């Protein structure tokens, strides 16, 4: 994939904006109640946020960025307690575990301080439907992601699908496969069954038995889940002779996926939607490589989303000429958007709570990641 020089341009644009004078002690505090340990740790955005804060602080333009970081152990209630501490310390922006049981109380707390909850990995529609004026997601909602993979796999020749849902992670694990199904049927495909699972599954034999009992066996097995579950799932599906498409979501976008599956041939018909192309010699990869060289333990796309949050917040403060949390949020939502890492410009002016961005769909060839598509899907199911 040819690199497009978006990141250098984005960072340069952010620094060019730094024309306004700030007091020497002007400071942006961003509080990350983060999953440094626990099941959500591979999807934490902290190291990317640290890397971007370091770059901007070394550039010495605009207000200083201070990151407040504590481990939630992937526990939603603990994230709320930690976020309250950050708000009391003057954080203008906070984030927590990217699910509604954490983000709804965080948004309610932050409203009392004028602060913004900026959840870079959040895709769940609950936060958009709730309509919090002080909430921003760093990614497009789940119906858009599901629609992108539905369009891609239909174009690849698939015509029948089984969807696999779970109530364990809200709409991300329960409704996203159904939105995939709605989009798949809009394009002419047919959903022929729905199975269920629980997060943490290591034995997929009940689901596989039901899949094999279908006549004919569907072309697509679609699930919204995460590592290590999906690595085990792919291995077990292939070991049982399933030769259809395995379609996933951003939970598949973990650099350990390839190693977890082990067999390059088993990945040939795996695709997933994510938040930016990584593992493809992209500009995001270049940013992450630079962070690693500087000593930051970045892992993948979620670190790039964390960098987005810091870069956008800093640029918004410069645009506003203020570190007041309300003024920063107004500038985050202003027309024209602000520079990002996962996209050259990230705008909230159109949608309020989620950005205007394309959806990359990633596949595999000879064990290596390839970009299947990177666009806005032509049809998205109604969700609001």
pLDDT computed for residue 16 by the predictor: 47
Compute the average pLDDT of residues 334-341: 95
The encoded tokens of residue 125 equal 């529609």
Q: What residues have CB less than 8 Å from 25, skipping those under 6 apart?
A: none
Q: How far is CA 49 from the centre of its chain?
A: 14
Q: What's the confidence (pLDDT) of residue 8?
A: 52
pLDDT cut 90: percent of the chain above it: 89
Percentage with pLDDT > 70 across the chain: 95
State how far the Cα of 164 lies from the Cα of 186, in Å rounded to an integer: 19
pLDDT, tens digit, 9 for 90 and up, residues 188-218? 999 999 999 999 999 999 999 999 999 999 9
pTM over 0.75: yes
In angstroms, what is the C-alpha Rg of the chain? 20
- Going along the chain from its start, the domains and CATH numbers come out as 6-140+280-346 (3.40.50.2300), 142-274+359-375 (3.40.50.2300)
Count CB-CB contacts under 10 A for residue 384: 8
Q: Which residues of 254-280 are buried (b: 16+ CB within 10 A; e: fewer)?
A: bbebbebbeeeebbbbbbbbbbbbbbb
Q: What pLDDT shows up at residue 283? A: 92
Q: Give the pLDDT confidence score for residue 23 in this predicted structure.
A: 87
- Across the range 124-133, mean pLDDT stands at 92
pLDDT of residue 131: 87
**pLDDT, tens digit, 9 for 90 and up, residues 274-325:** 999 988 989 999 999 999 999 999 999 999 999 999 999 999 999 999 999 9
- What band does 170 get if pLDDT is binned at 50, 70 and 90? confident
Mean pLDDT in residue range 355-368:
95
Three-state DSSP string of the chain:
CCCCCHHHHHHHHHHHCCCCCCCCCCEEEEEEEECCCCCCHHHCCHHHHHHHHHHHHHHCCCCEEEEEEEECCCCHHHHHHHHHHHHHCCCCEEECCCCHHHHHHHHHHHHCCCCEEEECCCCCHHHHHHCCCCEEECCCCHHHHHHHHHHHHHHCCCCEEEEEECCCCHHHHHCHHHHHHHHHHHCCCEEEEEEECCCCCCCCHHHHHHHHHCCCCCCEEEECCCCCHHHHHHHHHHHCCCCCEEEECHHHCCCCHHHHHCCHHHHCCEEEECCCCCCCCCHHHHHHHHHHHCCCCCCCHHHHHHHHHHHHHHHHHHHHCCCCHHHHHHHHCCCCCEECCCCCEEECCCCCCCCECCEEEEEEECCEEEEEEEECCCCCCCCC
pLDDT tens digit sequence for 312-333:
999 999 999 999 999 999 999 9
For residues 68-85, give the mean pLDDT. 96
**What digits encode the pLDDT tens for the residues 209-248?**
999 999 999 999 999 999 999 999 999 999 999 999 999 9
pLDDT score of 14: 53
Average pLDDT over residues 21-47: 93
């Amino acid at each position: 994939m040819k690199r497009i020089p978006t990141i250098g341009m984005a960072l340069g644009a952010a620094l060019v904006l730094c024309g306004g004078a700030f007091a020497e002690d002007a400071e942006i505090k961003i509080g990350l109640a983060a999953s440094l340990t626990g099941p959500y740790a591979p999807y934490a955005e902290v190291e990317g946020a640290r890397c971007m804060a370091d770059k901007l602080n070394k550039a010495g333009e605009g207000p200083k960025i201070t990151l407040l970081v504590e481990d939630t152990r992937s526990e939603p209630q603990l994230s709320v307690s930690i976020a309250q501490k950050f708000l009391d310390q003057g954080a203008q922006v906070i984030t927590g575990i990217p699910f509604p049981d954490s983000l709804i109380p965080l948004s309610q707390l932050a409203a009392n301080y004028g602060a913004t909850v900026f959840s870079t990995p959040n895709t769940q529609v609950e936060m958009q439907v709730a309509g919090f004026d002080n909430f921003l997601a760093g990614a497009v909602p789940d119906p858009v992601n599901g629609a992108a993979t539905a369009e891609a796999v239909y174009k690849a020749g698939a015509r029948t699908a089984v969807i696999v849902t779970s109530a364990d992670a809200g709409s991300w694990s329960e409704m996203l496969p159904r939105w995939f199904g709605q989009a798949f049927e809009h394009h002419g495909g047919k959903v022929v069954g729905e199975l269920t699972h629980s997060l943490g599954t290591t034995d997929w034999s009940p689901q596989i038995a039901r899949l094999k009992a279908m006549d004919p066996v569907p072309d697509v097995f679609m699930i919204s889940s995460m590592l290590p579950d999906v690595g085990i799932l792919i291995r077990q599906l292939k070991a049982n002779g399933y030769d259809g498409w395995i379609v996933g979501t951003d939970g598949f976008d973990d650099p350990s996926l390839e190693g977890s599956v082990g067999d390059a041939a088993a990945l040939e018909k795996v695709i997933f939607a994510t938040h930016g192309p990584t593992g493809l010699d992209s500009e995001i990869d270049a940013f992450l490589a630079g962070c690693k060289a500087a000593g930051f333990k970045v892992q993948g796309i979620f670190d790039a989303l964390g960098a987005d949050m810091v870069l956008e917040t800093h640029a918004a403060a410069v645009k506003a000429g203020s570190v007041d949390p309300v003024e920063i949020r107004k500038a985050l939502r202003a027309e024209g958007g602000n520079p990002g890492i996962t996209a050259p410009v990230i705008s909230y002016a159109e949608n309020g709570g989620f950005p205007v961005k394309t959806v990359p769909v990633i596949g595999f060839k000879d064990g290596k990641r390839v970009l299947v598509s990177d666009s806005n899907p032509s049809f998205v199911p109604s969700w609001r």
